[in-house]
Amino acid sequence: MAEERVLVVEDDEALASLLVEELSDRSLAVDAVGTAEEGWDRVSGGGVSLVVSDLRLPAAGGEALLARVRGLDDPPAFIVITAFGTVSQAVECLKMGADDFLTKPLELEHLAMAVKRALEHRRLQRVVARYEEAMGADFHGMIGRSAAMRRVFENVRALSRSDSPVLIEGESGVGKELVARAVHAESPRGGGPFLAVNCAGVPKDLLESEFFGHTAGAFTGASKARRGLFEEADGGTLLLDEIAEMTPPLQAKLLRVLQQGTIRPVGSSRPRRVDVRVVAATNRDLEQELEDGRFREDLFYRLDTFRVLIPPLRERGDDLERLTAHFVKKHAARLDRDIDGLTAEAEAALRSYPFPGNVRELENAMERAVTFCAAGPIDVTHLPARIRRARSYRDEWRRIARDAFGDDPFEDATPTLAELERAYIRHVLDRSDGNKRRTAELLGISRRTLYRRLAQLDGGPDESSRASDGPAGRGHDEDPC
């Protein structure tokens, strides 16, 4: 184990010296620093296999260091130590990716065992990652080797060992159902049924019957008894997509199912026991829904036992190229097209586009491109117009930035982020002839977000109450946030 390097981040010099001595005696190379910033400098330079960090440090704390370290492509293992540990604090650190959470005063033998486990776990993860890369393997239909997606896969593997509810969060199109299916497949329930229902797609007056079933004659049209989704999913997993759309009365009944494991079909007076793991998914901020009184607090905390946040495509780095190649190959085979990759210009256009519709939008774009490209490489002309327009607007923004801020807008006269954002939004708004719907589409945001950003940047009133599609003001239809 001589090749393993441990970094101790501890501002108590006496304790730091003790830890260095103890771990060095176990054939480990050990360094010590006193601040989170020094710790980050060492870790980001590479060569660190494990970080042992105090939570309370000068300036930035250990949690901030943990968050930065977990964002690396090949992060070291991480053990948190603190003299002020609480259960909630430990759970939060473990959710963030810490391998262990130890409280002071430290038992050195316990620390040594924790270090050994963390280093062995990291070595195993690296072996698995190399094997998957060599085999070109994906994870239950999900393609991704970025650090962000590897964390999602690790979380799914870990939480699948439990039987508690799971809350999956992410923007529209990121693949929440694929993650839910992976949770099911990785769990002991993998051989049982997996059912998915979109809570926004079922009429509100039929939701209760859809979930819990009904007896014959329970209501007009119920000529015979019908099993609900919970009974159909007995022994397996039920995905409740767009959980934020569920009505308050149904939220209360769902909470009872989660707490008691029983359902009561519409028209029945007798409860029935079911064994179902619930996975909920949403593209909304459930905590905001809770604050606004649209979601039950007790149900939220019951669902929030395990939370998986799926990153948007724009935060997944080289996964964009991997997914693009996968979708081109898939649709070229289906349409019998002889496609030879993409031109450099088409690749640049994809990289510069924010993909508000995420992976789903990328696949649709590649299906269109393959359809219009009979053979050879896909060119930028084969891409959807919104991607081509976004590319041209970004090219023009570079010119605008140079004109507004000098030859190098990021050197001699560095604009603030607010100045850049204000100038770019106003430019796109001008080019769209004041049409806010068009402006929001080009910026890859909803109109509500556009109104809010305009109000924040200009210091004026929130324009969302005066929604207009342009100079003529064609109505108040809202794009989904």
pLDDT at site 2? 42
8-state DSSP, 380? G
Q: CB–CB of 272/262 below 8 Å?
A: yes
Closest C-alpha to 125, from 148, 90, 153:
153
Q: Whole-prediction pTM value?
A: 0.60
What integer pLDDT is reported at residue 477 of this predicted model?
36
CB 75 within 8 A of CB 69: yes
- Give the amino acid at 387: I
pLDDT for position 21: 92
Alpha helices in 160-304 (DSSP H): 176-186, 207-212, 229-232, 248-260, 286-291, 297-303
Classify 281 as helix, strand or coil. strand
Domains, the chain, ranges and CATH?
5-130 (3.40.50.2300), 147-311 (3.40.50.300), 314-388 (1.10.8.60)
CB 320 within 8 A of CB 207: no
Q: What is the pLDDT of residue 406?
A: 52
Q: Identify the H or E element spanning 147.
A: helix 147-159
The strand pair at 272-273 and 50-54 is best described as unpaired
**Which whole-number Å values give the CA distances from 279 to 74, 273, 316, in the listed order?**
29, 18, 24
pLDDT, residue 427, reads 78
Number of H helices, E strands in the chain: 19, 14
pLDDT < 50: residue spans in the chain: 1-2, 408-414, 460-481
Cβ proximity of 147 and 73 under 8 Å:
yes
5 three-class SS: strand
CA 139-363-451 angle, 5° bins: 110
- pLDDT the model gives residue 423: 75
Distance CA 278, CA 251 (A): 13
Query: What's the pLDDT score for residue 470?
Result: 41
Cα 429 from Cα 423, distance rounded (Å): 10
- pLDDT, tens only, 159-214: 988 899 999 999 999 999 999 999 999 999 999 999 999 988 888 777 788 899 88
Contact present, 255 and 298 (Cβ < 8 Å) = yes
pLDDT score for 444: 79
